[in-house]
Structure 1
Amino acid sequence: MQKRDNYNKIEDFLEDSSFRRWILNQDDIQNWEEWCLESPKRAKLVEEARLFLIALGVDELKISHEEIQASLAETRNKILLHEINAQKTNAFWTKGWFRAAAVLLVSFSLYFLYDLNQKSNLAVNYEKLVEKDNEGLIEQTNNSPEPQVISLSDGSSVLLQPKSKLSYPKKNSGNVRKVFLSGEAFFEIKKDPSKPFLVYANELVTTVLGTSFRVKAYEGDANVEVLVKTGKVHVSQNETISKKPMLPIDLLPNESIIYNRKKVAFGNVQTLDLTLKPIEKESEKIENLSFEFEDVPVSQIFETIEKAYSVEIKYPKSMLKNCYLTSSLSDQPLTEKLNIICESLGNNTRFELNNNEIIIKSNGCN
């Protein structure tokens, strides 16, 4: 005799994982269909249980036995009261109608319990992400009032905003480069088609090959935001929070997307004009600054870099006062920008980057 032969209540079926797989995924390993056909009475009870799962519309029913019992008891009491009142006032309310109402009301009650449970499980934050990663990670926290520059081992640069944290491997191994963000940061990724770069931030994963973009993902915020300055960015839902993640979204330059963590949904892609400078300090955000230089003094280039990265550049002003450069530096990480400038100046020009201070050593320009 099988265990399910003793099932005589809806909740017996709801708590059976093989039953849920059969109804939701057509996975009939336990021959449920054949078993149901053996008895009309059995088939009727199974049909009621099936209605619950269809009404819920979920892949898994992660509700405890106690929660199911409490919900059913409360709903049955409400139905009983309605039935008593209805019988007193109108004979139209029949037992068959109340049986259908029971299915619907209990379904809504179970869905409410499921929704609360599922939303708590869907939330992904920085600590959970870092904990799951088995590689040795370096964590950098910005407790200062100004953005901080982080240079990664692959040559990429990250401008980490105040009250933000970034964890990254000391040296990338394998076929991908990945970091974990809590807060806000602007990324400039060194191109490497063989090794995609992944930013894990709350429930989103942003994947690029080499581009510049901003991610804003504070733990307490309702949204996660991604904004692209150059190149192409692939934004997807973290696979750990859903067996059927939403379709990913590709963003192009000047486009942004907002992910609503509570609704578990993407908003519409927005097109921005990053050349429009917002008021006050927002105008110094790196995505609002142009790095296209045509025959401009090197001092002006250094000023732009200082504004963009919140760094201080010390250089021999007398040696470089008559030096002019033409260069496009829009799509390079900070260290690559500095390398291009130094190579263009020549004459043994080189740089040192220490936290948020850059020291240029040069004997003048060619």
Structure 2
Amino acid sequence: MTKDKIIKFLNNQCTDAELDETIRWANTEAFSEESIKRAFDEWKTYREESNEGDDEKFSLLFDKIRERINSERQKRNKTGNGNQIFVTRLTRAAAILLLPVLAFLFYTLSEIYDMKSESVSLMQLPVDSLEIIAPVGSRTVVQLSDGSKVHLNYGSRLKYPRTFTGNTREVLLTGEGYFDVAHNPERPFIVQAGEFSIKALGTAFNVMAYTDNDEIETTLVEGKVVLEKSGPEGKIIKNVGAILPGQHVSYNIKTGAVSCTEVNVEKYIAWKDGKLVFDEANILQVAERLSRMFNVTIEVDDDIKDYTYTVTFVDEPLFQILNLMTIATPVRYNALPRSKLSDGTYSKQKIIFGKKQ
């Protein structure tokens, strides 16, 4: 089985004969000694030949895989069967696409389908840390070895050890996560988010730290956390202070300014339950949230940037939200058609907001 045929399978470009060959290989040979050795050889070659465009290519491939999973899940909801066969074939067929891709599939699929932990042991890969990614348009729940639970928002990633050792429990967050931390006064739980760290013993809090945002935000639901600024190699250089339940802290990466306010925490944590809560949010803030949630690009004309919204959406589709916004305020939107790229995929949907004439 060649890598080109596997890629054709994932892009739905196989002939009938190639599809039969891929399924046969996935069911009988994917995890043979020869296939595993070939995967390692492919990984070594990839590391030597990798370039800046590779990450984007894999991201596009992940989107394809997620779309296929969602499609099969919808079929399962209608028919009640076929799901396990699909998951097995897809994860095995992806083996040749290098071990990091295999790891991604196992952990994403385990969260989506609640598979038993022993069936997704990552082939006992020789690593001491793991990383899980919530694909764009999806939320993911991670159960850590200490019993703590982490909800990851769209496009977020969490790096964490397979088993916590030492005097602390440390994880690395990029994006947004809601943490329900198992209580252990002997071993503080620390979330590293950029140059900011949040330390807790046993509590529930939300952290938002997207790389394209100048603000790192923390909202405490219950318990107590200590905020610290870290320097190179995670060394603590400043104790910012502690916050109490109901408080929201925002740290500006560029200026170093810190603000702390009393808030309605539901506004900041409702996303984990599929809700979008806006409370006097301006249209730029709304556009930012919608862009991440639906993987689109939204531009806002200058003359409507002062418009604000107070509303809660529960699992609403994008264009229904946009239509409601045009009813609530004198705005209009134009959804530009997506363009087909050279690899057969499509560009992001672009939406432009302007003032009604």
TM-score bracket, shorter-length normalisation: 0.3 to 0.5
TM-score with structure 2 setting the length: 0.39
Q: Bigger radius of gyration, 1 or 2? A: 1
TM-score with structure 1 setting the length: 0.38
Larger % of strand: which?
A: 2
> Relative contact order, CA 8 A, sep 6+: which one is greater?
1
